[in-house]
């Protein structure tokens, strides 16, 4: 059988690739999602952070835990699963146009949650206290505010801020009980 020579089928110079410059002016402009998409995304992330970080109130206290802490009780698999879910915040923040500094901060929050959560029992307490998903949502909302993509008087902004506060603000926290000196009646 006779071997084929590619030059028989392709005219000379047709396979020449022009040089590519990776300077900023040659990169395509990054289009940011519309305001409506931004709002839907932030509401979705707020719902997810509520589910992962503060879904359940421990009876008799004002301490709220979420699925992040509950799944963290399963060694390796639980923390790995919640870490994968937490990286969704990073993907959305990048899609929404957050700066690299904010993305790195969010990655650090997820990393701390994963590393601390890997320690048995102590990691579960850290999951309750650290709340990486809520921290990442707050960092993303601040970034969108600084970029001017969320107006200061937006009802969405009020909803997102209200979500980061404890729901039962009238109940005293555990800290209040622990900080009081013990007194006999």
Residues forming beta bridges with residue 64, ordered by sequence position: 57
Higher per-residue pLDDT: 69 or 14: 69
DSSP letters spanning the chain: -PPP-GGGTS-TTTTPPPP---SGGGSPPPPPPPHHHHHHHHHHHHHHHHHHHSSEEPTTSS-EE-HHHHHTTSTTHHHHHHHHHHHHHHHHHHHHT--HHHHHHHHHHHHHHHHHHTSTTHHHHHHHHH-HHHHHHHHHHHHHHHTT-S-TT-HHHHHHHHHTS-S-TTSPPHHHHHHSPP---
pLDDT, mean of residues 94-119: 92
| pLDDT tens digit sequence for 57-103 | 889 988 888 998 888 888 888 889 999 999 999 999 999 999 999 99
**1 occurs within a structural domain:** no
**12 occurs within a structural domain:** no
**178 occurs within a structural domain:** no
pLDDT, mean of residues 109-135: 88
Q: What are the Cα distances from residue 36, in Å, to 14, 33, 78?
A: 46, 8, 34
pLDDT, mean of residues 94-121: 92
**73 occurs within a structural domain:** yes
Any idea which of 29-33, 50-54, 154-158 has the lowest mean pLDDT? 29-33
**Per-residue pLDDT at 93:** 95
| Domain of residue 82, residue span | 33-162
**153 occurs within a structural domain:** yes
| Number of structural domains in the chain | 1
Q: Which of 73, 48, 67 is nearest to 163 (CA)?
A: 48
**Per-residue pLDDT at 172:** 45
**8 occurs within a structural domain:** no
**131 occurs within a structural domain:** yes
**Mean of per-residue pLDDT scores for the chain:** 79
């Amino acid at each position: 059988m006779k071997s084929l020579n590619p030059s028989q089928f392709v005219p000379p110079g047709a396979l020449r690739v022009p040089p590519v410059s990776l300077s900023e002016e040659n990169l395509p402009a990054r289009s940011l999602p519309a305001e409506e998409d931004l709002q839907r995304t932030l509401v979705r992330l707020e719902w997810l952070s509520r589910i992962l970080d503060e879904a359940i109130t421990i009876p008799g206290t004002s301490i709220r835990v979420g699925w992040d802490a509950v799944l963290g009780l399963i060694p390796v698999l639980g923390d790995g699963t919640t870490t994968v879910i937490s990286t969704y915040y990073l993907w959305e923040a990048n899609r929404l146009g957050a700066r690299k500094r904010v993305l790195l901060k969010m990655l650090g929050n997820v990393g701390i949650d994963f590393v601390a959560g890997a320690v048995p029992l102590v990691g579960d307490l850290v999951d309750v206290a650290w709340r990486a998903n809520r921290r990442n949502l707050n960092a993303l909302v601040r970034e969108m505010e600084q970029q001017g993509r969320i107006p200061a008087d937006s009802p969405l902004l009020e909803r997102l801020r209200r979500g980061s506060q404890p729901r039962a603000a009238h109940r005293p926290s555990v800290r209040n009980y622990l900080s009081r000196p013990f007194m006999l009646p």
